[in-house]
Amino acid sequence: MIKKFFGDKKFYKMVLAVAIPIIVQNGISNFVNMLDNIMVGQVGTEQMSGVSIVNQLMFVFNLALFGAVSGPGIFTAQYVGQKNNEGVRYTIRFKLIMSVVLSVLGVSIFMLFKDNLIMMFLHDNNEGLDLTRTLGYAKEYLMAMLFGLFPFAITCSYASTLRESGETNVPMVAGLIAVGVNLVFNYILIFGHFGAPKLGVVGAAVATVISRFVELFIVVFWTHKHKERAAFAVGLYKGFHIPGQLSKKIIITGFPLFINEFFWSLGMSMVTQCYSMRGLEVIAAFNISNTIVNLFNVVLISMGSVVAIIIGQQLGSGDTEAVVDTDRKLITLGVLSSALLGIILIIMAPLFPRFYNTTDSIRNLSVELMRVAAIFMPVGSYLNCAYFTIRSGGKTFITFLFDSAYLWVICWPIAFVLSRYTGMTIIPMYITILSLDFIKVVIGAILLKKRIWIKSLVA
């Protein structure tokens, strides 16, 4: 019985070949993000909170972009399984068009509504923190960050296609170099070292933008320089043709996925907005907590991509029982890995807030938030793997119901009521909202068992 959940040496060798580059890239990226966050946190609580709020808004854009490239990516993975380079070429063209459109929309919305969007998260609970200064820092940071939206979007189109084609090392190396550039320029521009101006939060944004252009250059240059390994790059920009029938299939399959990612990220931001009703200290504590939790969630996040790539390719080859067996073992690996990392985080949580220039109350609250999040990490891992499994077969409307609809119909209304009509403090509120995921676990298990996700889209 236990063999159903664990693979042999050959299985784990295959999984690690796909997973390690993604985990390394995500891990180092999150580690550098943590160092960036600590640097901003050294400047002051208002600066740290302003950056945190803007990053929450950017989170919505990033996830919408992820959804936009993931729809065509389902087809890309299955075309790779068929060794159909022309099909891969069509899908990356679709991704590039969506990336440009979303970048223009994102910049326009952020510029027009920046004050209203930021003010949603600013609430005074008599903590002695300056909301006006926080708003000012957030606006400065946001306006500089807008220059990085376009290169980030194009990079996502190329990098996702390379990963789906099995070239996971290239996006990893590009990402590592980019985070290194980001870290160096953060150190120089935030604090004004080596004769550079001391720019504070604006310096953090400028460093991020520079790193995104560097990553874009590396990924695009490598792709078009190594056409024998990235065959889809041959003639990629000749006519930029996409067959109408394929475009229709991608839109029908992918649009629910895009809507899901957009509304899920928006819903998560609205839940965070509910948490922010408890004051700016909560925003600051969540900023510290989420930064550290993201570092420990690296396996959880990466396993989603691993499931999408491996299961997508196997669905393209058509072996149903092998797909089910592989998926079960991938989910087991993801859950157990997250449980182990959760235990480590519970033990290490008090160490991280010491690096931030903030109050003891914010530090202590961040430790509590980290430990709560650590307990729920295995649950999040199962749901993440279940989501990507269902998505791999093109069941994007079901993933929309499973993810976004559940968040907006169940989680957000409860968070809204608790934050505005009760005196519940932030920790019990946080535990209550996270506990709702157990309902999703049951739903996910039923969907996986019914095998409704087993479908080849490119047969």
Torsion of CA 361, 362, 363, 366, to 10 degrees: 120
Mean pLDDT calculated for residue range 177-184: 89
pLDDT tens per residue across span 184-224: 999 999 989 888 889 988 999 999 999 999 999 999 999 99
Given a cut of 90, whether residue 321 has pLDDT beyond it is: no
Report which of residues 326 and 208 the model is more confident about: 208
Given a cut of 90, whether residue 56 has pLDDT beyond it is: no
The reply to whether 455 falls in a domain is no
pLDDT tens per residue across span 388-439: 888 777 677 787 888 888 999 999 999 999 999 998 999 999 999 999 999 9
Mean pLDDT calculated for residue range 96-106: 93
pLDDT at 380: 92
Report which of residues 392 and 316 the model is more confident about: 392
Residue 423 exposed, middle or buried by CB count within 10 Å (0-12, 13-18, 19+):
exposed
pLDDT at 95: 92
Percent of the chain scoring above 70 in pLDDT:
95
pLDDT tens per residue across span 110-146: 999 998 999 888 876 655 567 888 889 999 999 999 9
Residue whose C-alpha is closest to residue 176's, from 219, 230, 233: 219
Given a cut of 60, whether residue 169 has pLDDT beyond it is: yes
Strands annotated E in 218-303: none
Report which of residues 345 and 29 the model is more confident about: 345
pLDDT at 458: 57
The reply to whether 113 falls in a domain is yes
Mean pLDDT calculated for residue range 34-45: 79
Residue 397 exposed, middle or buried by CB count within 10 Å (0-12, 13-18, 19+):
middle
The reply to whether 105 falls in a domain is yes
Report which of residues 320 and 277 the model is more confident about: 277
Mean pLDDT calculated for residue range 369-387: 93
The reply to whether 456 falls in a domain is no
Mean pLDDT calculated for residue range 266-278: 90
Range with the lowest mean pLDDT among 151-155, 321-325, 339-343?
Answer: 321-325
Residue whose C-alpha is closest to residue 39's, from 343, 382, 291, 304: 291
Q: What residue numbers bound the domain in which 367 lies? A: 2-450
Tokens 């729809």 sit at which residue? 71
CA separation for the pair 48, 51 (Å, rounded): 5
The reply to whether 247 falls in a domain is yes
Q: Quick one: how many helices (H) and strands (E) in the chain? A: 18, 0
Average pLDDT, the chain: 86
- Residue 455: which pLDDT band, with cuts at 50, 70 and 90? low
Whether the CB-CB separation of 399 and 257 falls below 8 Å is answered with yes
The reply to whether 80 falls in a domain is yes
pTM to 2 decimal places: 0.79
Percentage helix, strand, coil for the chain under 3-state DSSP, each rounded to 5: 85, 0, 15
Q: How many other C-beta atoms lie within 10 A of the C-beta of residue 294?
A: 19
pLDDT at 84: 82
pLDDT at 154: 94
pLDDT at 305: 82
- Residue 339: which pLDDT band, with cuts at 50, 70 and 90? very high
The reply to whether 457 falls in a domain is no
- Residue 318: which pLDDT band, with cuts at 50, 70 and 90? low
Torsion of CA 241, 242, 244, 248, to 10 degrees: -160
pLDDT at 226: 87
Given a cut of 60, whether residue 457 has pLDDT beyond it is: no
The reply to whether 107 falls in a domain is yes
**Which two three-digit tokens encode residue 59?**
């989170």
* DSSP state at residue 401: I
pLDDT at 1: 65
Domain count, the chain: 1
Residue whose C-alpha is closest to residue 456's, from 340, 336, 318, 325: 318
The amino acid occupying position 6 is F
pLDDT at 307: 85
pLDDT at 413: 95
Mean pLDDT calculated for residue range 358-385: 93
Mean pLDDT calculated for residue range 82-91: 83
